[in-house]
């Protein structure tokens, strides 16, 4: 374990930030600046695309991609972020699996509160299916709020009568908008990113007055996960959202769903974004890539690079 690297990352993310609630514009600018420091791997090519009725970024290996598609949902509390801010994560999954990925630019709150992001996720998945992609060749992946969207989009797809994707990979997912996990208190002050007050500030923008006790808002405690595909949940011990993953894993297991709960010690929220800086990040992404390769089943030909 790389104790020095983990200490350096912890110090980096604890750099002083403006106190008090910030405007949406300030939140978005700050998040863009922070994520611009993450290392995007070489060996990928990107291109703007449309999926459903939303923009997306198609991320491909430099050569010919293997048959199979990752539908990626970026993080950012449903308020900030974009495919570009998640490129270190999406790019690493693409280079480590050989699959292409579509990173969806779903609508953000407060301009577009719940359930806009889920509607966009469902539309994107439907577009992949309509294009001829077999569901066994599609996996959902996402980080933070995007990790929550992987589960919510599965619920929406099942409700719409669509087949389930092959697998779900969720990095530090937000899976409980009621904020009732024990780690909300036990990890307070240990988490270098989040406070309860900060999550409630952005959460209120997404909820827009909706009751958080709904399956699509809090699947870790309220969703029926029967029939879900295999799930990989990765989280760190230094995050207040840790129990979102632990309770989701329990709920999945009780529903007869194959689930792996992968918890790394002394690392922060979405530590996988620090690939190239933190050994644990690279190792976690290797495990995620292995999981995706094991579960994505393809019958068609490989994807040629987009022009």
Sign of CA dihedral 177, 181, 185, 190: negative
- Determine how many CB atoms are found less than 10 A away from the CB of residue 154: 26
Q: Which residue has the tokens 């690493």?
A: 92
Q: Is the pLDDT of residue 307 over 50?
A: no
Check residues 54 and 193 and name the one with the higher pLDDT. Answer: 54
**Average pLDDT of the residues of the chain:** 94
Coil, strand or helix at 46: strand
Q: Residue 209: name the closest of 83, 79, 110 by CA.
A: 110
Q: What tens digit of pLDDT does each residue of 79-113 get?
A: 999 999 999 999 999 999 999 999 999 999 999 99
Supply the residues annotated as catalytic: 144, 239, 269
The pLDDT tens digits of the residues spanning 194-248 come to 999 999 999 999 999 999 999 999 999 999 999 999 999 999 999 999 999 999 9
pLDDT tens digits for range 260-299 = 999 999 999 999 999 999 999 999 999 999 999 999 987 6
Residues 52-65, mean pLDDT to the nearest whole number: 94
């Amino acid at each position: 374990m790389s104790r020095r690297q983990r200490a350096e990352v912890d110090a980096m993310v604890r750099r002083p930030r403006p106190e008090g609630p910030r405007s949406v514009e300030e939140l978005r600018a700050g998040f863009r600046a922070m994520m611009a420091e993450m290392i995007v791997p070489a060996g990928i090519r990107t291109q703007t695309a449309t999926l459903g009725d939303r923009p997306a970024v198609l991320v491909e290996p430099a050569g010919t991609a293997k048959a199979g598609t990752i539908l990626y949902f970026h993080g950012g509390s449903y308020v900030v972020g974009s495919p570009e801010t998640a490129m270190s994560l999406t790019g690493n999954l693409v280079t480590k699996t050989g699959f292409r990925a579509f990173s969806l630019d779903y609508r953000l709150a407060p301009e577009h509160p719940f359930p806009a992001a889920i509607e966009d996720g469902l539309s994107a998945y439907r577009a992949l299916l309509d294009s001829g992609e077999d569901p066994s060749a599609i996996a959902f992946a996402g980080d933070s709020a995007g990790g929550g969207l992987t589960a919510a989009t599965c619920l929406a797809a099942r409700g719409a009568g669509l087949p389930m994707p092959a697998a779900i990979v969720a990095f530090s997912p937000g899976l409980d908008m009621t904020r009732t996990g024990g780690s909300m208190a036990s990890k307070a002050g240990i988490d270098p990113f989040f406070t309860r007050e900060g999550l409630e500030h952005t959460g209120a923008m997404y909820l827009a007055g909706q009751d958080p006790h709904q399956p699509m808002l809090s699947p870790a405690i309220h969703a029926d996960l029967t029939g879900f595909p295999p799930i990989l949940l990765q989280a760190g011990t230094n995050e207040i959202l840790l129990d979102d993953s632990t309770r989701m894993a329990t709920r999945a297991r009780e529903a007869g769903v194959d689930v792996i709960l992968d918890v790394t010690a002394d690392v922060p929220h979405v530590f996988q974004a620090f690939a190239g800086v933190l050994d644990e990040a690279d190792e976690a992404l290797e495990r995620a890539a292995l999981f995706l390769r094991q579960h994505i089943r393809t019958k068609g030909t490989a994807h040629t690079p987009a022009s």
